[in-house]
Chain A
Amino acid sequence: MSTLIKDKNSTDKIMTRLLIALTSIILFAVYKNGIIPYINNKIEFVDIFYPLLFILLPALITFSSELVFGLLVKKKRGKELFEFAKNSYAFFPGLFLGLICPITLPISILIIGALAASILGKLVYGGFGQNIFNPALIGYVVIVFSYSLFFSSNAYLNKYEVDTIGGSTPLTTIKSLDSSISYNTIVEPYGNLGDFFLGFIPGSVGEVSSVLCIIAFIYLALTKTIKWQIPVFYIGTVFVLTIIIGIILGQGIYYPLVYLLSGGLLFGAIFMATDPVTSPVTKPGMVLGAIIMGILTVFLRYNSSFPEGVATSILVMNLLTFILDRIGFNIKFSLKKCIIPVLILICIMVSVVVVSTDKFNNDNTVDSKFKLISKKIENNKVIYEASEKGYSSNIKAIIEIENGKITKFEIKEHNESFYSMVEKENYITKLINNASNLDEVDTVSGATFTSGALKKLLINVISDYEKEGDVVR
């Protein structure tokens, strides 16, 4: 016999609260993708409602396919049929799918995605509660594979943003920049960090407004509607890792924030990774799963051609749910059991940071620390004064190039502890002699940073000279 009193939390209430939390996000989607472009005369009046259709249509499709499933397979009729579809949360996969797709996606593709979400994502497993993967993300994957244009960089821009911003989403921008990253190149094209926070940056229909996502999260967590551990540890892991990477790359706090506030991380972590059916049921399982997603997201963002990484990470977590719960229930019995998984995760974290920052260190062609101090042109000669960060100081040098030949490379100022080693190797002469093929010149072991800096200095000066070559000639 069941207990004779019951907690107030019911599936109905959970559903209602999710809808309440999503309402502001849907309204914002309409505002950003409908009203703003309309005010700026980019679209017709009726198009204001297009974002709403874009979100609700797939929801309707997933709901109706559940109805058909209930009718044909589960043999439900009438009110019972409706209750069945409702209690299967059949509305949500479509709703989420609409929210995570870019507004430029053709409706026909979206419909295919919604059908896939319902059928491949849920019904083939035998219906609600049996599925392994998040249904909305299955729909998303199908769309990605059937419509590769999806990933073209400006697919995420609505009609207004195409004209005002051009380019692409922040994360695609970061990736294309490689190592010339700075606040000016990453954040400024989109306004300021406030725009990131409020959601006035390009992205999919519903997932860009960080502030609304955070409010929704607080509401859902306080009402005990979602597994709050998952977003906290997921987002926390991404934040910590990008802070570390940011520090290694010498970037400010804006850097991890950009990673946090873009690419649908908040929306994915709060609404999709917490899908109850496909996420772990034990607390330690949730935390481990969340940390794995965080690591994976960072890894994918730095090392793959999918700059967002959230969808893939969630699907991987879905796949691991079974194992995570097995580890999870053992940790519940004895905390000692968490030592090995935690150690493994820490190792993976370290390697991800190393792998992700390594690229930037090996990259000598462009450099953010290079500073051109002055440039004088005298007849056929260009005299550069420039500086570059070495190991413990800024190295300042005068470089003269005459008719494409380096005629002078003189260090004016430095405070490098290992400079003597560079001198001993005659490194500067080596650089001058191999000016046409600098990539081949190895750095001086024992003074890698100092020699590397000299090399970078020369590379940058030469590339500037080549750009201006015509003037000189």
Chain B
Amino acid sequence: MVGYKLNGYKNLTKDKSVVSYLTPDKVYIPLKNGSNEDSTELVSKGNHVFKNMHIAHLKGPLKINIISSISGKVIGIEEKTFFNGQKVKCLVIENDYKEDIENNASLKKNITSYSKEEFLDCLLDAGIVGMGGASFPTYIKYSTDKKIKTLIINAVECEPYITTDYRMLFDYTEEILETIDAIMKINKIDNAILAIKKTHKSLINHINNYIGSYDHIILKTVPNLYPMGWERLLIEKTIGVEYDKLPIEQGIVVNNVSTIYAIYEALKYGKRVTERIITFSGDMLVEPVNMLVKTGTLLKDIMKEFKFKKGNFNIIAGGPMMGSIVDDDLVISPSLNCVLFLEKKCDVEVTECIRCGKCAKVCPARLSPVLIKDYLKDITMLKKLKADNCISCGLCSYICPSNIDVRSYTEKARDIVRKAG
């Protein structure tokens, strides 16, 4: 069986109601999405901006709109920390606390009555991207000539600690089901599958109370394994279909729950992506919570709301498996779903590889990381080992008894192979 059972730590936050922090003095809107930094600013220093306003575009094939999350005055551009740990250029806006909203005209009463074009425009306009961490612009997934047969809603959240989708699905069950139904009608999709971890019993019961009226939306449970939320694995597990490069080849679109809810708000209220729920958790936080925050909020400001236990800690943006260590200059971006405060352990001792084969056993991409590590200099062998299939899930590093950061080797090998073509 592909995948590995990790300790989830979900109970820290999953049953707590969502709190909010929506009044930062300033926001720092990152001019970047995924790896796209090709930005054109639409406002400049001194301008007044509304909340919900387009303040920049990112160009290129993955073009997307950048939205202001508050009303106030643009006071400049600064570098802050992006969730991948690198520095990112941000538009700084000073809050006037008025929450003045730029009006969006083309709203429809019934969210099912949008045409496909209107739907795509709306997603692009609202700046909706994959909110489970992938940051892939959502409108692109739907702008296809291919017939979309299946929509899969990914509510798996396989990384430990994270419970944003869990909370969303619990609190906004009707809205989310309604949106799925609307997306299906607009895009003429035959069926939809809502994928949830088998172990989330109370959530499953809860949803079963609502799902009855939507007979083409099916709830499917998946095993509590990491990385079950990985698209390829999820599709294989739920509908038994394999694809080569992208799910759309097989007429499949996968969206996560937060993304669906963002679509709901866009279709229903013309709201663009200005805030999101984030899990703040980890063993050094006295009160782990799910919190609604504005995009562009500085982590430093949010941290003032928290109490910490004594000791040194690492700040991690994203889950503990795939996330990166960051500083408190981190800005909230639309695809960030989790910030962790984990105790800084004294450096673990890295020892010689004992060739136990555990990394090869856990790799969900069916790679043999230990062999990839052996052949790091041999490109032909790396190609045969399909090193380019590594998805950076980190299981090999997690499992290695010698504490070797095996992923750093497999990622290097992947880049070597990809570069060689």
A: residues with CB less than 8 A from B are 1-7, 9-11, 13-14, 83, 87-89, 127-129, 224, 227, 276-277, 279-283, 286, 325, 328-330, 332-333
Contacts and interface: CB of A to CB of B under 8 A. Distances in A.
B237 interface: no
Contacts of A1: 324-325, 405, 408
A11 B402 contact: yes
Given A2-B397, A281-B355, A329 B371 contact: yes
Nearest to B402: A11
Main secondary structure of the interface of A (DSSP, over half): loop
A3 B351 contact: no
Could you say which of B7, B325, B356, B399 has the most chain A C-beta atoms within 10 Å of its C-beta?
A: B356
Given A4-B320, A10-B401, A11-B401, A276 B356 contact: yes
B244 interface: no
Contact of A281 (B349, B371, B400, B407): B371
B55 to A, nearest CB: 32
A6 B357 contact: no
A152 B6 CA distance: 54
Nearest to B404: A2
A10 B386 CA distance: 28
B342 interface: yes
Contacts of B354: 11, 14, 89, 129, 276-277
A83 B385 CA distance: 33
B385 A129 contact: no
Given A2-B407, A281-B370, 12 more contacts: A1-B324, A1-B408, A3-B398, A4-B321, A5-B6, A5-B342, A6-B403, A11-B402, A14-B354, A276-B357, A282-B357, A328-B368
Interface in B382-398: 384-386, 394, 397-398
Contacts of A227: 356-357
Contact of A277 (B324, B355, B386, B403): B355
Contacts of A14: 354, 356, 401
B314 interface: yes
B239 interface: no
20 contacts: A1-B408, A4-B314, A4-B323, A5-B160, A5-B342, A6-B403, A7-B398, A7-B401, A87-B352, A227-B356, A279-B355, A281-B357, A281-B360, A281-B370, A282-B368, A282-B371, A283-B361, A329-B367, A332-B360, A332-B368
Interface in B258-295: none
Nearest to B322: A3
B149 interface: no
Contact of B371 (A10, A224, A325): A325
A357 B356 CA distance: 38
A89 B403 CA distance: 16
A144 to B, nearest CB: 26
Interface string B306-327: 0000000010100011111100
Contacts of A128: 352
Given A1-B325, A5-B321, A282-B360, A329 B403 contact: no
Nearest to A280: B357
Interface residues of B, number: 44
Nearest to A274: B356
B356 A3 contact: no
Given A88-B352, A276-B354, A9 B370 contact: no
Contact of B385 (A3, A9, A224, A329): A329
Considering the complex of A and B, which 10 residue pairs feature the smallest CB-CB distances, nearest first? A281-B357, A2-B405, A3-B394, A4-B320, A87-B351, A5-B320, A129-B352, A276-B356, A329-B368, A3-B398
A5 B352 contact: no
A5 B357 contact: no
A10 B160 CA distance: 21
Contacts of A3: 320-322, 394, 397-398, 407
B368 A9 contact: no
A2 B401 contact: no
Contacts of A277: 354-355
Could you say which of A1, A4, A9 has the most chain B C-beta atoms within 10 Å of its C-beta?
A: A4
Nearest to A83: B349
Contacts of B401: 7, 9-11, 13-14
B325 A7 contact: no
B318 to A, nearest CB: 10
B179 to A, nearest CB: 34
Contact of B357 (A88, A283, A330): A283
Nearest to A13: B401
Nearest to B350: A2
Contacts of B340: 4
A199 B325 CA distance: 55
Contacts of B386: 333
A9 B408 contact: no
B358 interface: yes
Contacts of B397: 2-3
B353 interface: yes
B348 interface: yes
A289 to B, nearest CB: 12
Contact of A10 (B7, B403, B405): B403
A282 B359 CA distance: 9
B366 interface: yes
Contacts of A328: 368
Contacts of B324: 1
Given A281-B368, A282-B368, A276 B403 contact: no
Given A11-B351, A87-B352, A227-B357, A4 B371 contact: no
Contacts of A13: 401
Interface in B190-239: none
B320 to A, nearest CB: 4
A4 B342 contact: yes
B357 A286 contact: yes
B346 to A, nearest CB: 13
A2 B408 contact: yes
Contacts of B320: 3-5
Contacts of B398: 3, 5-7
Contacts of B403: 2, 6, 10
Could you say which of B324, B355, B366, B398 has the most chain A C-beta atoms within 10 Å of its C-beta?
A: B355
A128 B354 CA distance: 8
A209 B233 CA distance: 45
A10 B352 CA distance: 12
Interface in B327-378: 340, 342, 348-349, 351-358, 360-361, 366-368, 370-371
Contacts of A10: 401-403
A317 to B, nearest CB: 14
Nearest to B9: A5
B348 A6 contact: yes
B393 to A, nearest CB: 9
B343 to A, nearest CB: 10
B82 to A, nearest CB: 15
Could you say which of A2, A10, A279 has the most chain B C-beta atoms within 10 Å of its C-beta?
A: A2
Contacts of B316: 4
Could you say which of B321, B348, B370, B398 has the most chain A C-beta atoms within 10 Å of its C-beta?
A: B398
Contact of A7 (B349, B399, B405): B399
Could you say which of A7, A88, A224 has the most chain B C-beta atoms within 10 Å of its C-beta?
A: A7
A127 B342 CA distance: 36
Nearest to A2: B405
A123 to B, nearest CB: 14
A231 B219 CA distance: 42
B256 to A, nearest CB: 22
A332 B401 CA distance: 22
Could you say which of B367, B386, B397, B401 has the most chain A C-beta atoms within 10 Å of its C-beta?
A: B401
A6 B407 CA distance: 13
Could you say which of A89, A280, A329 has the most chain B C-beta atoms within 10 Å of its C-beta?
A: A329
A127 B351 CA distance: 13
Contacts of A281: 355-357, 360, 368, 370-371
